[in-house]
Amino acid sequence: MFPNASIGILILALFVTTESADWGYENEKGPDHWADLFPEACAGAKQSPININTEDTVYNPALKDFSVFFDPPLPGSKFYVHNNGHTIQVNTEGKFFVSNGGLTDIYSTAQFHFHWGHKAHHGSEHTLDGAPSPIELHIVNWNSQLYNSIGEAAVEPNGLAVLGMLFEISEEDNPVLEPLVNVLMHVRDPDMKIKAEIPAVSMRAFLPRAADRYYRYNGSLTTPGCFESVVWTVFHEKLTISRRQLHVFRQVLKPSGHHVHKRSTRKHSRSRAVREVFEEIGIEDDKREQARFRRQIVKNTETHVHESLPEDATSHEETMEHHESNHTGSHGHEVKPHTGHHGHNVKPSPISAHPGAHESNMTHAEQVRMMLVNNYRPVQPLNGRVVYRSFPFFNEPINIDTEVVYIDKDNSELARGAATSLVSSAYMCIAIIVAAVLC
């Protein structure tokens, strides 16, 4: 974990930075340069994602199934879908919790989002035995038992718990994803600040059937500021997505070909730098949570950090808050899929596969979308970290009193039950063979 003071330097620098704070997934702003753009954060020793070499993982019988509640969601719970310029994100409103599964505390679900690529065989951030998946889902949870807000938890050890689900291509649509897929065309333009509401469902609906089979390691968020505060869970079983559904995800971040005009790149980059941090932890619409997050950063930052800040740092922060208040409201001001941020009806137009305008005439968001054919970070070095798994491989020595599901290394289930019964059966077979020989 990098020092708390370094985290403070990173975030406070984001409040006053200009061009250098802008990031994306290609060229000089892409993941290969994040360690240079954010050296105090994205160059840490516990970065994510990683390649999970299953042969090197260690079985931990303490990793049990998760408790996910409330199921069904409480009345009044809501999901809001929006395009933040880097991904499709769904913010939760209401009480959604995750516990157990080797987690020592109760975590509240803040949001979930997706990472994908332009090719069907690669889009996930995590890989299993070097093999990527076409798309990956991240459910972001924060430790609500130890901290008062996600802003506080995001910079603390074990403050966040992210559940990662890999997907594989299926001929059939995934019905759980369909409500989300149906509104993606309405939120394709991040400049319009449209947020579409979809029915809230239990978070368990997004977990694989074998939710008790997963890998566990300590890492970071996979976008700047790359906070190394994450307890990662990557599930062994993959979910499914149809080619049609995946195609919709790929199209939504391409240039729309409208709302093209020049604007101040410098001013836009300055305010967006801070919004991106807030969006990553799911507090871009909550002024109170943003204030808590800033207080937590200041609390964890040494005094000399503040002394080194430019005098205009406060004015930049105030400018950012004023900009956000003019464009983004609370959930009480959310719009339906066909409503724009000015209250006018918006009819979605077909997405163009080609930019349709020179890059110099594009808005910043459209330039970002043009580069977001891939929106995943490549795997990072493990740097000596241990990756645990919740299930044993067949023939792996374990405690004889452990309830297990044996998995062969080809991912097939061989046997289920107590290890004691399997050991007893093995001894019985040996006894029968010995008796037959003696006779």
pLDDT at position 438 is 52
Question: What's the pLDDT at 398?
Answer: 73
Q: Which residue has the tokens 């409208």?
A: 258
- Whether residues 286 and 417 fall in one domain: no
Give yes or no: residues 338 and 410 share one domain: no
Q: Which residue has the tokens 């991240």?
A: 138
CA-nearest of 75, 116, 120, 71 to 96 is 71
On whether residue 239 sits in a domain, the answer given is yes
**What CA–CA distances, in Å, run from 235 to 112, 210, 416?**
15, 8, 19
Same-domain status, 312 and 424: no
CA nearest to 34, candidates 49, 21, 17 = 21
| 236 assigned to active site | no
**pLDDT score recorded for residue 411:** 60
> Are 280 and 428 part of one and the same domain?
no
Tell me which of 86, 186, 236, 316 is the catalytic residue: 86
Asked if residue 153 and residue 32 are part of one domain, the reply reads yes
* 41: helix, strand or coil: coil
Give dist(CA 80, CA 31) in Å, integer. Answer: 28
Could you say which DSSP state residue 140 is in? E
Per the listing, tokens 């000399």 go with 304
pLDDT at 183: 97
Question: Does residue 91 form part of some domain?
Answer: yes
Strand partners, 219: 230
Residues of the chain with pLDDT under 50: 1-20, 255-267, 270, 303-359, 372, 420-435, 437
In a domain, 381, yes or no: no
Do 307 and 358 sit in the same domain of this protein?
Answer: yes
Write down which residue in 321, 340, 371 finishes a domain: 371
- Tally of domains within the chain: 2
* CATH classification at residue 274: 3.10.200.10
- Taking the C-alpha atoms of residue 360 and residue 85, their distance in angstroms, rounded to an integer, is 18
3-state helix, strand, coil in the chain (%, to 5): 35, 20, 45
Residues 304 and 433 in one domain: no
Q: Which run of H or E residues covers position 8? A: helix 4-16
Closest CA to 245 of 172, 340, 319, 139: 172
Q: Cβ(148)–Cβ(293) under 8 Å?
A: no
230 plus 322 within the same structural domain:
yes
**Domain final residue pick, 371, 403, 422:** 371
Residues 348 and 407 both lie in one domain: no
Q: What is the pTM of this model?
A: 0.71
Q: How far apart are the C-alpha atoms of 33 and 74, rounded to whole Å?
A: 43
Assess whether 297 and 402 both reside in one domain. no
Examine residue 136 and state whether it is found in any structural domain, yes or no: yes
Structural domain of 419: 393-438
Q: Do 353 and 419 belong to one domain? A: no
Are 100 and 209 in the same domain?
yes
pLDDT for position 288: 77
